[in-house]
Chain A
């Protein structure tokens, strides 16, 4: 087994261009994903989860651009990851599953045709072969009657079925790493479980690396091996699922996890995180959670960077990392 990661993101910086100023919204995000490994990214809306995925894919909306950082992808099995340009990796190693399959599938194309064409684009496949592979892909993602569904248009399928098709479509590019942008958020809970199982199967069978972005901590717990918590454009804590979700070290991670009501725990008021994340204009060098944090002191006003998620182990960006860890658990 190789120890090379499949995908390595190194110091990714993304900025919004405004006339002559650039507003940095992703500030040095680094992480790595290995074969059959799933990295979960959690955080509240606007913290940069989806932006990270899009930047990695080279799919930034107009006006937003990558201002720094490297993306390395292992293009051959076992090979060390090498640097790739944005836009080069689409369809050649990276694939993405979106939240809303209704919006992400072309309404004027039959789903089977779409998948078959994607298969063909990899080259060396005849038309009939691609068709057969597309039917197999549809079957493998649990679409019943794949031969019939091959000819369906997206609007003729249910939400869950459409998301399965979207996954089949992503798998049709034979990716090394699958980026999932909240693929289960639009589905009801039973379907969520089915789709998660499906993604897990695909991951183990194909040795896929996976990045799973969600703000649903329960979903992350089910699918991820490693969890990164993002806040205001930085990774502020990373570690294994049990480390981060059960023994968070960063006060924000703690607060985020506590904000999810538990069915087992005592009944009490919802614990929300007071305040709201800072505006990217106000990002300074100090800890970005400063204003909302109950543990702040003068040390927090010094330079506090996001952490490098490529290194192993449970780590947090909080300056009180060591000392607070124990106290936080008691909260």
Chain B
């Protein structure tokens, strides 16, 4: 007796409503982020006015001349917003990227060579993780004095530990892989093996965390600037813009609303990107 094969229909991948919603959110986030980056890159072309130029048209509501209105010093809010994107995106990348660079180097070297280095790293990492990050961040920037440099120094000093921990676990796993032993057999030195074979295979987790961390850095920068501890006064920056708008919160809504919304959109887009990376990583495993 023959068994007829099951009727083959077209391969329909049924997606649940939740997964479709997730997909939609994420592609929206990706588009928003891409748009923001483009806006930041082309800010000098897109901005209708010089973001620093003072005029006598103070506190104008949104109009055809000033799409998002003007602030208390008569500066065009749209122009300031576009230039603020530049400041914030740049700071965001460095405030997360520098700690990653430093932490990854320290963690990888310590984990790979082991011994005293590794023990020392674990000890230092434990101490750092016990400290309240935000409080220290504020304290550190306060001590160093406001400005871009001290912001980045503060983020690096406090942020490297997580990256060092992440990479430590991965390096310890990867260094036991056969292709690592095999590379020694091809005549590579230990250092060369670390940078050519161990590190590239250990970075996945760190990049996932980097995406999440960028979102947190963005908020951190905005918060610090809001308290006047971020960028130098006058520099267009989203948190600083919201801060300057405080006085006019009831009377001139556009001053706080637009930079505020931008922070929310940017922050959640970056976070969604991080989620996406994380899920990809899990599938790839």
- B is a partner of A: yes
Interface residues of chain A, those whose CB is within 8 Å of chain B, are 57, 59, 87, 90-92, 94-96, 98, 100, 103-109, 117-118, 121, 169-170, 172-173
Please indicate the chain A residues that have their CB under 8 angstroms from the CB of B181 in the complex. Answer: 59
Tell whether, in the assembled complex, residue B186 and residue A95 are in contact, meaning their CB atoms are under 8 Å apart. Answer: yes
Decide if A94 touches B185 in the complex (CB within 8 Å): yes
Q: Give the distance in Å from the alpha carbon of A105 to the alpha carbon of B183 in the complex.
A: 9
Expressed in whole angstroms, the minimum distance between the Cβ of B184 and any Cβ of chain A is: 5
A106-B201, A107-B201, A109-B197 known; A173+B186 contact, CB < 8 A: yes
The smallest C-beta distance from B241 to any residue of chain A, in angstroms, reads: 42
CA A107 to CA B181, docked complex, whole Å = 14
User: CB within 8 Å of A: which residues of B?
Assistant: 177-179, 181-188, 196-197, 200-201
User: Please, how many angstroms separate the alpha-carbon atoms of A172 and B197 in the complex?
Assistant: 18
State the CA gap A104–B197 with chains docked (Å): 11
Whether A173 and B187, one on each chain, are in contact in the complex, defined by CB atoms closer than 8 angstroms, is yes
- Taking a contact as CB atoms under 8 Å apart, the answer to whether B197 and A90 are in contact is no
| Pair A59/B188 contact, Cβ less than 8 Å | no
For the residues of B in contact with A, the DSSP-based class is helix
Contact of B179 among A59, A87, A104, A118 (CB under 8 A): A104
What 18 new A-B contacts, CB under 8 Å, besides A106-B179, A173-B186? A57-B185, A59-B185, A90-B185, A91-B186, A91-B188, A95-B185, A95-B186, A96-B182, A98-B182, A100-B178, A103-B177, A104-B179, A104-B182, A106-B196, A106-B201, A117-B196, A118-B187, A172-B186
Q: Indicate whether A104 sits within 8 Å of B178 (C-beta atoms), given known contacts A57-B185, A91-B186, A121-B188.
A: yes
CA distance A119 to B196 in the complex (A): 15
Interface contact A103-B179, CB-CB below 8 Å: yes
A169 to B184 CA separation, bound complex (whole angstroms): 12
**With the chains together, A104 CA to B187 CA distance in Å?**
15
Q: Which residues of B contact A94 (CB under 8 A)?
A: 185
* A90 near B186: Cβ-Cβ < 8 Å: yes
Whether the pair B201, A90 counts as a contact (CB closer than 8 A) is: no
Say yes or no: B185 contacts A96, CB within 8 Å. Answer: yes
Task: Say how far B198's CB is from chain A's closest CB, in angstroms.
Answer: 9
B185 and A91 contact, CB distance less than 8 A? yes
Q: Considering only CB atoms, which chain A residue lies closest to B187 in the complex? A: A91
Q: Is the CB of A108 within 8 A of B201?
A: yes
Residue from the set B178, B179, B197 with the largest chain A CB neighbour count within 10 Å? B179
Question: Given the complex of chains A and B, what is the CA–CA distance between A243 and B196 in angstroms?
Answer: 47
Task: Assess the B184–A59 pair: CB atoms within 8 A.
Answer: yes
A-B contact pairs, 13 of them (CB 8 A): A57-B185, A59-B185, A90-B186, A90-B187, A91-B187, A98-B182, A100-B178, A103-B177, A104-B182, A106-B197, A107-B179, A121-B187, A169-B186
Q: Compute how far the CA of A271 lies from the CA of B178 in the bound complex, rounded to whole angstroms.
A: 35
In the complex the two chains form, what is the Cα distance from A118 to B188 in whole Å?
Answer: 9
Shortest Cβ-Cβ A-B pairs, 4 listed: A91-B187, A103-B178, A108-B200, A104-B182
A105 to B200, CA, bound (A): 13
Q: What residue of chain B has the Cβ atom nearest to residue A91's Cβ? A: B187
**Which of B183, B187, B188 neighbours the largest number of chain A CB atoms within 10 Å of its CB?**
B187
> Which residues of the other chain, A, contact B184 by a CB distance below 8 angstroms?
59, 87, 90
Report chain A residues within 8 Å CB of B201: 106-108
Residues in chain A near residue B178, CB distance under 8 A: 98, 100, 103-104
What's the Cα separation between A100 and B181 when bound, in Å? 13
Chain B min CB distance to A145 (Å) = 24
* B182 surroundings in chain A (CB, below 8 A): 96, 98, 104-105
> What are the residues of chain B within 8 A of A103 when measuring CB–CB?
177-179
Residues of A within 8 A of B187 (CB): 90-92, 118, 121, 173
Chain B, residue nearest A179 (CB): B185
Complex formed: what's the CA distance from A117 to B193 in Å?
A: 12
Query: Measured between alpha carbons, how far is A105 from B197 in the docked complex, in Å?
Result: 10
Q: Which residues of B contact A173 (CB under 8 A)?
A: 186-187
Taking the closest CB of chain A, its distance from the CB of B210, in whole angstroms, is 17
Minimum CB distance partner of B197 in chain A: A106
The docked-state distance in angstroms from the alpha carbon of A59 to that of B200 is 22
Docked pose: A278 CA to B184 CA in angstroms: 33
- In the bound assembly, the distance between CA atoms of A151 and B188 in angstroms comes to 22
B186 and A121 within 8 A (CB): yes
A108: B residues at CB distance < 8 A = 197, 200-201
Interface pair A106/B183, CB less than 8 Å apart: yes
Q: How far, in angstroms, from A169 to B183 measured CA to CA in the complex?
A: 10
- Output the nearest chain B residue to A118 by Cβ-Cβ distance: B186
Query: Hey, which chain B residues are within 8 Å of A107, CB to CB?
Result: 179, 201
Q: Which residue of A lies closest to B204 (CB)?
A: A108
Q: What CA separation (Å) do A59 and B190 show in the bound complex?
A: 13
CB distance from A152 to the nearest CB of B (A): 16
Using CB atoms, name the residue of chain A closest to B202: A108
B188: chain A residues within 8 A (beta carbon): 91, 121
Minimum C-beta distance from A177 to chain B (A)? 12
Closest B residue to A96 by beta carbon equals B185
Q: How far does the Cβ of B203 sit from chain A's closest Cβ, in whole Å?
A: 9
Complex-state Cα separation, A122 to B197, whole angstroms = 19
Contacts of A96 in B (CB 8 A): 182, 185
Q: Which residue of A lies closest to B193 (CB)?
A: A106
Name the B residues within 8 Å of A100 (CB-CB): 178
CB distance from A28 to the nearest CB of B (A): 25
Q: Name which residue of chain A comes closest to B182, CB basis.
A: A104
